[in-house]
Amino acid sequence: MNKAESTTQIIGNVGSKDRASLWTDIKSLIKIGIINSNLMTAFAGFWLALYYSGLSFSNHWETFLIMMIGTALVIAGGCILNNYFDRDIDPIMSRTKKRPTVTGSIPLTYILLLGIISTVLGILLLMLTTIQAALLGVVGWFCYFVLYTVWSKRRYTINTAIGSLSGAVPPLIGWAAVDPNLHMAAIILFLIMFIWQTPHFLALAMKKCKEYKAAGIPMLPVVYGFAITKRQIVIYSACMLPLPFYLFSLGNTFLVIATILNIGWLALGISGFFTKNDLKWANWMFVYSLNYLMVLFLTMIVVTIPQVVY
> Measured between alpha carbons, how far is 76 from 168 in angstroms, rounded to an integer?
16
Quick one: pLDDT at residue 153? 95
pLDDT, tens digit (0-9, with 9 covering 90-100), for 44-99: 999 999 999 999 999 999 999 999 999 999 999 999 999 999 999 988 888 788 88
Quick one: pLDDT at residue 15? 55
Degrees (nearest 5) of the Cα angle 40, 253, 297?
A: 10
CATH of the domain at 251: 1.10.600
> Measured between alpha carbons, how far is 244 from 240 in angstroms, rounded to an integer?
8
Quick one: pLDDT at residue 93? 83
15 domain residue, yes or no: no
> Measured between alpha carbons, how far is 41 from 140 in angstroms, rounded to an integer?
13
pLDDT, tens digit (0-9, with 9 covering 90-100), for 22-56: 888 898 999 999 999 999 999 999 999 999 999 99
How many Cα atoms are found within 13 Å in the side-chain-facing hemisphere of 182?
20
User: How distant, in Å, are the alpha carbons of 49, 65, 135 from that of 80?
Assistant: 30, 22, 20
Quick one: pLDDT at residue 283? 97
Closest CA to 300 of 243, 244, 236: 244
Quick one: pLDDT at residue 14? 41
Residue 225 DSSP symbol: -
Share of the chain above pLDDT 70, in %: 95
Closest CA to 301 of 84, 89, 42: 42
93 domain residue, yes or no: yes
pLDDT, tens digit (0-9, with 9 covering 90-100), for 187-223: 999 999 999 999 999 999 999 999 999 999 999 999 9
Across residues 236-260, what is the average pLDDT?
A: 97
Quick one: pLDDT at residue 94? 80
pLDDT, tens digit (0-9, with 9 covering 90-100), for 143-200: 999 999 999 999 999 999 999 999 999 999 999 999 999 899 999 999 999 999 999 9
Quick one: pLDDT at residue 217? 95
5 domain residue, yes or no: no
Across residues 283-288, what is the average pLDDT?
A: 97
Give the domain range for residue 176. Answer: 27-309
Quick one: pLDDT at residue 10? 35
Check whether 5 has a pLDDT greater than 60: no
Residue 310 DSSP symbol: -
Across residues 277-282, what is the average pLDDT?
A: 96
Closest CA to 100 of 113, 87, 89: 87
In total, how many domains does the chain have? 1
276 three-state secondary structure? coil
**Average pLDDT value over all residues in the chain:** 92
